[in-house]
Chains A and B, each alone.
Chain A
Amino acid sequence: AQSVSQHNHHVILSEAASLELGCNYSYGGTVNLFWYVQYPGQHLQLLLKYFSGDPLVKGIKGFEAEFIKSKFSFNLRKPSVQWSDTAEYFCAVKSSNSGNTPLVFGKGTRLSVIA
Chain B
Amino acid sequence: SQTIHQWPATLVQPVGSPLSLECTVEGTSNPNLYWYRQAAGRGLQLLFYSVGIGQISSEVPQNLSASRPQDRQFILSSKKLLLSDSGFYLCAWRLGGGAFFGQGTRLTVV
By a beta-carbon cutoff of 8 Å, the part of chain A in contact with chain B is: 6, 9, 32, 34, 43-44, 46, 49, 51, 90, 92, 94, 96, 99-100, 102-108
By a beta-carbon cutoff of 8 Å, the part of chain B in contact with chain A is: 32, 34, 36, 38, 41-46, 49, 51, 59, 90, 92, 94, 97-99, 101-104
Residue of B nearest to A102 (CB): B49
Say whether chain B's binding surface is mostly helix, strand, loop, or mixed: strand
Contact A44 B43 (CB under 8 A): no
Q: Distance (Å) between the CB of A51 and the closest chain B CB? A: 6
Q: Distance (Å) between the CB of B61 and the closest chain A CB? A: 15
Q: Distance (Å) between the CB of B16 and the closest chain A CB? A: 29
Contact A102 B98 (CB under 8 A): no
Q: In the complex, what residues of B have CB within 8 A of residue A6's CB? A: 43
Q: In the bound complex, what is the Cα–Cα distance between A105 and B33 (angstroms)? A: 16
Q: In the bound complex, what is the Cα–Cα distance between A106 and B44 (angstroms)? A: 7
Q: In the complex, what residues of B have CB within 8 A of residue A99's CB? A: 32
Say whether chain A's binding surface is mostly helix, strand, loop, or mixed: loop
Q: In the complex, what residues of B have CB within 8 A of residue A104's CB? A: 46
Q: Distance (Å) between the CB of A105 and the closest chain B CB? A: 4
Question: 12 pairs across A/B with beta carbons < 8 Å?
Answer: A43-B101, A44-B90, A44-B92, A96-B97, A99-B32, A100-B32, A100-B49, A103-B94, A107-B41, A107-B44, A108-B38, A108-B43
